[in-house]
C-alpha cells in the first residue's frame, strides 16, 4: 500500500482499534521511513480512544523504552531496539516481563527471535517519492 503522510492518520486509527492489552506492534523499516511518526500517531489514537489527552511522544532511541500510562491498568510501552545487540540485551531491558500486561510498540524488532503471538507487523519502505512510503501490514494471532 502506498501511503502519504496524511494517510497515516487513518492507518493509525485502524490499528488503534485492533490493538488490545497484551498485543504487540512491530515496526520495521530503514532510518527515516516514519516508524516513530507512525508510533506517535498510534499512541495518540489510543489515548483519544480512551478519552485522554495524548502525551508528548518523542523518539525512544536513546532511552530504548518510553512508557505511556493511558489509564489505570493500560500502559503503552514504546520500544526502540536499534541500539541493542544481543538477545541478552532484550532480557536486560525487561522486554519479556511485561509483554502480556501492556500494549507494546516495538521499532527495529529484528532482534526478537521468539516472536509475540498476538502481533501486528508493519513494514515501511522508502519509495522514489520523498513524501510517500510503501507500507505492508500483517496481522497475527488475536489481532486478526
Partner 1 sequence: MKKDLIFLGIETSCDETAAALVKKSKNGKVKILSNVVSSQEIVHKKFGGVVPELAARAHSEKIDLIIKEAIKKSKVSIHQIDGVACTAGPGLLICLMVGMTAGKTIASALKKPFFGTNHLEGHALTMGLIRPVKFPYLLLLISGGHSQFLSVEGVGKYKRLGTTIDDALGEAFDKTAKILGIEFPGGPKIETFAKFGNENSFDLPKPILHKSGCNMSYAGLKTAVLHASKNIKSKQDKYDLAASFQKTINEILKVKCAKAIEMFLEKHKKIKNKNFVVAGGVASNQSIRKTIKQVSSTLKFNTHFPPLNLCTDNAAMIAWAGLQNYEAGKKPNLKIISQPRWPLDQKAPFMKGAGLIL
Span near partner 1 by CB under 8 A; candidates 10-18, 20-28, 66-74, 106-114: 66-74
What count of other Cβ atoms lies within 10 Å of the Cβ of residue 80? 23
- When asked if residue 123 is in the footprint of partner 1 (CB under 8 A), the reply is no
Considering the complex, state which of residue 26 and residue 108 has its C-beta at the smaller distance from partner 1.
Answer: 108
Helix, strand, coil tally for the chain in percent (to 5): 30, 30, 40
30 near partner 1, rule: CB under 8 A = yes
Taking CB under 8 A as the criterion, the residue among 11, 24, 27, 68 binding partner 1 is: 68
CA distance linking residue 57 with residue 70, whole number of Å: 13
* 132 is an interface residue for partner 1 by CB under 8 A: no
How many chain residues bind partner 1 (CB under 8 A)?
35
From residue 14, give the alpha-carbon distance in Å to each of 9, 42, 134: 9, 9, 17
Amino acid at each position: 500500500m502506498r501511503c502519504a503522510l496524511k494517510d497515516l492518520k487513518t492507518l493509525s486509527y485502524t490499528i488503534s482499534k485492533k490493538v488490545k492489552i497484551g498485543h504487540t506492534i512491530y515496526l520495521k523499516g530503514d532510518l527515516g521511513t516514519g516508524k516513530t511518526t507512525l508510533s506517535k500517531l498510534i499512541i495518540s489514537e489510543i489515548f483519544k480512544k480512551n478519552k485522554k489527552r495524548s502525551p508528548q511522544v518523542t523518539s525512544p532511541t536513546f532511552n530504548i523504552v518510553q512508557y505511556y500510562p493511558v489509564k489505570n491498568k493500560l500502559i503503552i510501552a514504546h520500544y526502540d531496539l536499534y541500539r541493542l545487540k544481543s538477545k541478552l540485551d532484550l532480557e536486560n531491558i525487561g522486554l519479556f516481563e511485561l509483554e502480556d500486561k501492556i500494549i507494546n510498540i516495538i521499532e527495529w524488532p529484528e532482534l526478537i527471535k521468539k516472536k509475540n503471538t498476538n502481533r501486528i507487523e508493519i513494514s515501511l519502505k522508502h519509495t522514489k517519492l520523498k513524501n510517500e512510503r510503501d507500507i505492508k501490514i500483517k496481522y497475527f494471532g488475536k489481532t486478526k
